[in-house]
Amino acid sequence: MTAFSLNPDQTARCAELRTLAAERLRPLAEKGDPGHVNRPLVAALGELGLLDGLFTSGALDLCLMRESLAYVCTEAETALALQGLGAHPVHAHGTPAQRERWLPQVRTGHAVAAFALSEPGAGSDAAALALAAEPDGTSGDWRLTGEKCWISNAPEADFYTVFARTSPDAGARGVTAFLVPADRAGLTGTPLDMLSPHPIGALAFDAVRVGPDDVLGEVDRGFRVAMTTLNRFRPSVGAFAVGMAQAALDAALAHAAERDAFGGKLKDLQAVGHQIAEMAVRTEAARLMVYAAASAYDAEGPGGPGIARRAAMAKLLATETAQYVVDAAVQLHGARALRRGHLLEHLYREVRAPRIYEGASEVQRSIIAKELLG
């Protein structure tokens, strides 16, 4: 298989996922409460074996799964992705006891995970984290004190992968990753009312005790845990964006073929045809870059040459493209696309956040430039 085409099995799997999303997942998503974790939906993802795929699939297969779900049901795609983002550090860096305690429940959808990196004063600049992990006497434990903000699935997750500063004034070299159960004393959270319909909240840590058994990876090496997780998932954020772009493009094609305008159909206007052509070209280019980045990850592994750059390129191009395509589709539809409940109204709210989370577009450009310019 090349990075630029799918084999028949992959094509069939994508079609199967779209059908599952339409028949099994979208009805559950429609019953959910926006801004809150939809546990029946997460459980269904587990029942269908999709959550298990987060840990058993390669990067390309993960992209195909996210793109297929996003095309039909963005809520299902996001619920799946957040499980992966929150639990991947446990899968990749956790101890046998940590993995045994949490991963089976994540796979079945009975435990909700969250990735707690961003803070009020440290979003894209992850090396500037201020959440303090202060030694607790001579016991070898720490006390976490500070805040996290813009955390997906907070405050309703069952456990958090939390990044805290264990060595002051050490930048990225002084951050440690901890697995923190949600019921740990001193940990509280509040939901945030956001444009995106998925749950996002803030967390407050009031001397929350963590010990050596809670460390993910090595002490003061948590930045590596964060970056390897993000490099794994950034191409698939691009796949999420491509799925939304394709859904918007297909909606525009259908509307242009059906809509009467100026004595003919909307599609007969050259300006409309050119606009749709541009939308299609950009969507396909983004898709190919996502597939190429994921294929490189599968071939080279997380530490391979150019992996971070490829992941950044894929996320940057795909998320910016999806914003353009969804906006263009809204423009072609006119006012009807802005009505609450319309597919494009939903996509318009969904498509904005991926340009910010897991590293804003400006951060992706910085990663790319740093690798290119040395």
What does the pLDDT look like over 278-291, one tens digit per residue? 999 999 999 999 99
* Active site (annotated) includes residue 358: yes
What's the pTM?
A: 0.94
Question: Residue 121's pLDDT is what?
Answer: 87
Virtual torsion, Cα 8, 76, 234, 119, nearest 10 deg: -170
Q: Domain residues of the chain, as ranges?
A: 8-108, 113-221, 223-373
Q: Which of 134, 358, 362, 371 is catalytic?
A: 358
Q: What is the pLDDT of residue 126?
A: 67
Distances (CA, A) of 24 to 19, 83, 108, 293, 363: 8, 19, 16, 30, 37
What's the fold here for domain 8-108?
Butyryl-Coa Dehydrogenase, subunit A; domain 1 (1.10.540)
Residues of the chain predicted below pLDDT 50: 1-2
State in words which class domain 113-221 has.
Answer: mainly beta
pLDDT confidence of residue 124: 67
pLDDT at 125: 73
Query: 223-373 falls under which CATH superfamily?
Result: Butyryl-CoA Dehydrogenase, subunit A, domain 3 (1.20.140.10)
What is the per-residue pLDDT for 252? 98
DSSP assignments along 73-127, one per residue: -HHHHHHHHHHHHHHHHHHHH--HHHHHHHHHHHHHTSS-EEEE--BTTBSS-GG
pLDDT tens per residue, range 11-56: 999 999 999 999 999 999 999 998 899 999 999 999 999 999 999 9
CB atoms within 10 A of CB 238: 33
